[in-house]
Amino acid sequence: MKAFVYHEYGTPDVLKLEEIQKPSPKDDEILVKVRAVSLNKADAYFLKGEPFMLRFEAGLQRPQRTILGADISGIVEAVGKNVKQFKIGDEVFADLSSSGLGGLAEYVSAKENAFVHKPTTMSHEEAAAVPMAAVTALQSLKKGNIKAGQKVLINGASGGVGTFALQIAKSFGTEVTAVCSTKHLENARALGADHVIDYTKENFTKNGKQYDLILATNGYHSLADYKRTLTENGVYVCSGGTMKQIFASLLLGSVATMGSQKKITNLTAKPSQNDLMAVKNLIENKKVKSLIDKIYPFEQTPDAFRHLVQGHASGKIVITVL
């Protein structure tokens, strides 16, 4: 089978299309013929091997997992003898970030509990755009104790996680403010945002408004700014953005809110079959859809990564494999 492989850290130029052995499923695994894969920021980090601490997981000198790609959608080609949830021919999607990655290939094999049946309302490209970003959004909002009637702000509402967070927050019956750049305002409105803020023209931490839940998926503001923008019992959840922002919320959040009922916290999302099933149900009930910035053919995978590292995509970058 064909796969995009990398044997050293670097730019998208290190990705090479190679012929490698097709995997065989173990007893508790399914073999999936990959139809589409979407890219996430994590793919760019693993490609470059940065930040350096990531290499303690990925390999100090060179990558141990040589095929990137976590978010896939495809068709079950074979099943292990202990598999109960799927059969040959089923359409499935998954986040393989805890299963060795491997999505940038014609076939991938992983444990059945990584997969969920693909939403019937979506193409493979649309489905591949969902798993990691949507589950991260859902887990972030749940960590922020989202409830109906709250005022929720999404900082970074035009990216993969942000576009899903906006829609999922609306599905809970909240009033959502989306923060993004000028060119993404209409997309945010189309996805259901009640209010939009153009961060190139307005600093939402200085307009006097407060929110019950702030989810930051991108951008940077100080913890003091976020604390001031929270209501009395408000919660701020950081699920992305700059390394400075992530480490600040992780290490200093409890200190910054000391003496108040406000909460500043951090989320490291984990793949969850149950959470992906919940997202699938929202999709099939027309509460959530994927927003795709651009679709690339498999042969242009390095170009898709170049687009990814530029960091200005509105929605997800997807690659059609077969």
* Across 18-28, average pLDDT: 97
Each residue of 252-276: pLDDT tens digit? 556 567 568 899 998 888 999 999 9
Structure tokens at 173: 């019956």
The highest-confidence range among 48-62, 126-140, 230-244, by mean pLDDT, is 126-140
Q: How confident is the model at residue 163 (pLDDT cuts 50, 70, 90)?
A: very high
* Across 184-193, average pLDDT: 95
Report the alpha-carbon distance of residue 248 to residue 239 in Å, rounded.
12
User: Is residue 298 pLDDT above 60, yes or no?
Assistant: yes
Report the alpha-carbon distance of residue 121 to residue 286 in Å, rounded.
9
Q: Is 92 within 8 Å of 117 (Cβ atoms)?
A: yes
Report the alpha-carbon distance of residue 5 to residue 278 in Å, rounded.
33
Report the alpha-carbon distance of residue 110 to residue 23 in Å, rounded.
10
pLDDT reported for residue 252: 53
Hey, what CATH topology would domain 2-130+290-320 get? Quinone Oxidoreductase; Chain A, domain 1 (3.90.180)
User: Is residue 50 pLDDT above 80, yes or no?
Assistant: yes
10 Cβ contact partners less than 8 Å away, ≥ 6 residues apart:
47, 48
Relative to beta strand 29-39, strand 316-320 is antiparallel
What average pLDDT does the chain have? Answer: 93
Hey, what CATH topology would domain 132-266 get? Rossmann fold (3.40.50)
Q: How confident is the model at residue 246 (pLDDT cuts 50, 70, 90)?
A: low
Report the alpha-carbon distance of residue 234 to residue 114 in Å, rounded.
33
User: Is residue 244 pLDDT above 70, yes or no?
Assistant: no
**Which DSSP state fits 106?**
S
Coil vs helix vs strand at 22: coil
Each residue of 77-124: pLDDT tens digit? 999 999 999 999 999 999 999 999 999 999 999 999 999 999 999 999
Share of the chain above pLDDT 70, in %: 94
Coil vs helix vs strand at 8: coil
pLDDT reported for residue 250: 58
Domain boundaries along the sequence of the chain: 2-130+290-320, 132-266
User: Is residue 240 pLDDT above 80, yes or no?
Assistant: no
116 Cβ contact partners less than 8 Å away, ≥ 6 residues apart:
92, 93, 94, 273, 276, 277, 280
pLDDT reported for residue 313: 80
